[in-house]
C-alpha cells in the first residue's frame, strides 16, 4: 500500500512536536529544517497546561518528563498606588501548570526524532508550489500529500496562503526575559500587573525562575542602558529580598497576529505563523499544542477510515475547529492587556471589579478551566 507523504517545514518546537506526534502512524514524513545562521541561545521558558502536558506525555514516545517542572501554586497581583494587591490565587493538591526551558526541550525532541523513521533534511526552502503540492528547496523538488508549515510569524511563504487576511497590531512594546537564581522556598508561578507593564515569574527549577517583563517601547528605550539595575530593583521590590542573581537577558518586540486563513489546498499553517499573542497570559504555546492535537486527531481519523490524506478535508476541518477558539483567546488576551494598562481614572473601577472577581468561586473555576482546556 502506498504511504501517505507528509512534509513538515520548520525546526522549532511546533515542527518538532508535530513530526513526533505523527511519527507512529506509518506515514512517509520529511522534516525540513532550514539552516539557521543565528547562534543566539533561546533563553525563554514556556508554560503549558496540565491537559497539554498529558497530550505530550501520551503522544510522544519516550519523552523525558523530568524536563517539565510542575507548579501547584499560581498568584496574580495588581499594582495599586505602589502597593501589590493579590486578587487571584490557586493553591492546589495537583499540578496546575508545567514549565520547560525551550532550549533543553528542543535538544531532547531532536534526539528523539533521530530514533524515528522520519527523514530530517537541513535545507533552504525556496518556495512552496500550492497548486502542485510541491516543496522546493535549494537542492530538491518533491510532491507531498500534505504540507505543514511551521516557519514562524515572519515567513514570506505565508503570503501565498493568507494574503492580507490577518488581525494584527504592533503593541509598541518589548518583552524582557532572563533567568533568576534564588533561595526562595515554593515561590510558585506569579503574574504582576505593574504600571510599567505585566511581569511574570515562571519557575522551571526549585531554585530558578524565568522572568518575563513586558513594557512600552518608550520605557524600554529609556532604561535600556540600565536594564540590569531596573530589573534588580523591581525584583527586590516584589520579592522583598535582594538574595537572587539575574542571568543574561534577551528582549524581543511584541505584536498581535491572528491569521484568518489557515490553509490553501493541501498546505496548513501551524505555530507562531498562525497566531502570535501577548505573553501576559502564558497561553500562546497552549494554543499551538491544541492545534497539533486536532491535526493528529484528523489524520488518525482519515487513516482509520481508509481515506487519503491528499485533497482531504483535513485542512478545512482543522481551520473550522480551531479558528474560533484561537481568535477568541487571542482577542481575549489583548483585551486583558488593555484592561490592566495603568490609567488613573479607571484604576479605582478595576479594583472593584477585581475584588468581586476574587470572591467568586464560579469565576475562579471558569478561569482555571479555560487556562487548562481552552474554550473547548
* Whether pLDDT at 131 is above 80: yes
Give the containing element (helix H, strand E) for 236. Answer: helix 227-239
Q: What is the pLDDT of residue 38?
A: 62
Residues 7-55 have pLDDT tens digits of 999 999 999 999 999 998 989 999 999 876 666 788 899 999 999 999 9
370, with CB counted inside 10 A (0-12, 13-18, 19+), is: middle
The torsion defined by the Cα of 223, 225, 229 and 233, in degrees rounded to 10, comes to 0
DSSP 242: -
For 222-278, write each residue's pLDDT tens digit. 888 888 898 999 999 999 999 999 999 999 999 999 999 999 999 999 999 899 999
Longest dimension (CA), the chain: 69
CATH code that applies to domain 5-54+101-168+256-341: 3.50.50.60
pLDDT higher than 90, residue 179: yes
The residue ranking higher by pLDDT, 193 or 343, is 193
Closest CA to 285 of 274, 299, 295, 296: 274
Q: What is the mean pLDDT of residues 68-93?
A: 90
Cell of 36: 539557521
Distance CA 61, CA 36 (A): 27
Strand order in the sheet with 134-137: 125-129, 134-137, 141-143
Domain boundaries defined on the chain: 5-54+101-168+256-341
How many CB atoms are closer than 10 A to CB 19?
A: 27
pLDDT score at 352: 85
Mean pLDDT of 76-95: 88
Percentage of the chain modeled with pLDDT above 90: 71
Q: Work out the mean pLDDT of the chain and round it to a whole number.
A: 91
Q: For residues 354-365, give the mean pLDDT.
A: 86
Percent of the chain whose pLDDT exceeds 70? 98
Q: What count of Cα atoms within 13 Å lies in the side-chain half-sphere of residue 87?
A: 21
Q: What is the DSSP letter of 61?
A: T
**Range of 23-27, 110-114, 137-141, 359-363 with top mean pLDDT:** 110-114
- pTM for the complete prediction? 0.94
What is the pLDDT, as a whole number, of residue 346? 79
Give pLDDT, residue 37.
Answer: 63
Q: For residues 175 and 212, what is the distance between their CA atoms, to the nearest angstrom?
A: 7
Helix (H, G, I), strand (E, B) or coil at 11: coil
For 322-355, what is each residue's pLDDT tens digit? 999 999 999 999 999 999 988 877 788 888 888 8
Amino acid at each position: 500500500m502506498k504511504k501517505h507523504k507528509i512534509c513538515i517545514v520548520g525546526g522549532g518546537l511546533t515542527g518538532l512536536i508535530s513530526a513526533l506526534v505523527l511519527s507512529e502512524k506509518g506515514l512517509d514524513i520529511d522534516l525540513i529544517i532550514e539552516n539557521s545562521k543565528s547562534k543566539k541561545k533561546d533563553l525563554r521558558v514556556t508554560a503549558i497546561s496540565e491537559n497539554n502536558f498529558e497530550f505530550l506525555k501520551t503522544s510522544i514516545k519516550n519523552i523525558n518528563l523530568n524536563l517539565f517542572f510542575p507548579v501547584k501554586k499560581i498568584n496574580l497581583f495588581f499594582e495599586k498606588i505602589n502597593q501589590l494587591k493579590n486578587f487571584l490565587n490557586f493553591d492546589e493538591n495537583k499540578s496546575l501548570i508545567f514549565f520547560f526551558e525551550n532550549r533543553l526541550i528542543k535538544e531532547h525532541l531532536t534526539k528523539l526524532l533521530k530514533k524515528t523513521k522520519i527523514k530530517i533534511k537541513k535545507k533552504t526552502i525556496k518556495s512552496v508550489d500550492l497548486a502542485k503540492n510541491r516543496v522546493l528547496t535549494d537542492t530538491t523538488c518533491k510532491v507531498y500529500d500534505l504540507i505543514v508549515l511551521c516557519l514562524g510569524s515572519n515567513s514570506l511563504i505565508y503570503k501565498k496562503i493568507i494574503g492580507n487576511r490577518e488581525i494584527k497590531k504592533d503593541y509598541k512594546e518589548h518583552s524582557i526575559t532572563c533567568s533568576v537564581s534564588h533561595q526562595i522556598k515554593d515561590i510558585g508561578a506569579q503574574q504582576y500587573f505593574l504600571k510599567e507593564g505585566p511581569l511574570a515569574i515562571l519557575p522551571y527549577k526549585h531554585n530558578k525562575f524565568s522572568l518575563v517583563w513586558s513594557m512600552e517601547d518608550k520605557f524600554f528605550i529609556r532604561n535600556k542602558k540600565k536594564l540590569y539595575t531596573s530589573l534588580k530593583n523591581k525584583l527586590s521590590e516584589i520579592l522583598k529580598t535582594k538574595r537572587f542573581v539575574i542571568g543574561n537577558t534577551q528582549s524581543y518586540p511584541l505584536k498581535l497576529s491572528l491569521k484568518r486563513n489557515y490553509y490553501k489546498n493541501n498546505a496548513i499553517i501551524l505555530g507562531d505563523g498562525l497566531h502570535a499573542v501577548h505573553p501576559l497570559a502564558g497561553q500562546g504555546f497552549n494554543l499551538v499544542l491544541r492545534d497539533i492535537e486536532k491535526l493528529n486527531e484528523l489524520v488518525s481519523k482519515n487513516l482509520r477510515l481508509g481515506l487519503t490524506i491528499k485533497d482531504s478535508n483535513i485542512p478545512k476541518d482543522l481551520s473550522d475547529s480551531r479558528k474560533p477558539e484561537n481568535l477568541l483567546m487571542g482577542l481575549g488576551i489583548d483585551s486583558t492587556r488593555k484592561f490592566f494598562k495603568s490609567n488613573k481614572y479607571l484604576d479605582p473601577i478595576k479594583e472593584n471589579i477585581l475584588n468581586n472577581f476574587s470572591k467568586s468561586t464560579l469565576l475562579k473555576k471558569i478561569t482555571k478551566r479555560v487556562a487548562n482546556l481552552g474554550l473547548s
